[in-house]
A and B are shown apart, each in its own frame.
Chain A
Amino acid sequence: GIQVEQSPPDLILQEGANSTLRCNFSDSVNNLQWFHQNPWGQLINLFYIPSGTKQNGRLSATTVATERYSLLYISSSQTTDSGVYFCAVARSRGSQGNLIFGKGTKLSVKP
Chain B
Amino acid sequence: EADIYQTPRYLVIGTGKKITLECSQTMGHDKMYWYQQDPGMELHLIHYSYGVNSTEKGDLSSESTVSRIRTEHFPLTLESARPSHTSQYLCASSEPPRLAGAYNEQFFGPGTRLTVL
Chain B residues in 8 Å Cβ range of A92: 101
Instruction: Pick from A30, A95, A99, A103: contact of B106, CB below 8 A.
Output: A99
Which of B11-19, B64-72, B74-82, B108-116 forms contacts with chain A?
A: B108-116
Q: Is the CB of A1 within 8 A of B59?
A: yes
Q: Is the CB of B103 within 8 A of A42?
A: no
Query: Number of residues in A with C-beta < 8 Å to the partner?
Result: 27
Q: Does more than half of chain A's interface fall in helix, strand or loop, or is it mixed?
A: loop
Chain B residues in 8 Å Cβ range of A31: 103-105
Smallest CB separation, B113 vs chain A (Å): 6
User: Is B94 located at the chain interface by the 8 A CB criterion?
Assistant: yes
Q: Is the CB of A41 within 8 A of B42?
A: no
Q: Is the CB of A97 within 8 A of B97?
A: yes
Q: Which residues of B come within 8 Å of A, CB atoms? A: 31, 33, 37, 41-45, 48, 56, 58-59, 88, 90, 94, 97, 101-108, 110-111, 113
A-B contact pairs, 12 of them (CB 8 A): A41-B90, A42-B108, A42-B110, A43-B111, A45-B105, A45-B107, A97-B31, A98-B33, A99-B43, A99-B106, A101-B44, A102-B42
Q: Which residues of A come within 8 Å of B, CB atoms? A: 1, 30-31, 33, 35, 40-43, 45, 48, 50, 86, 88, 90, 92-93, 95-104
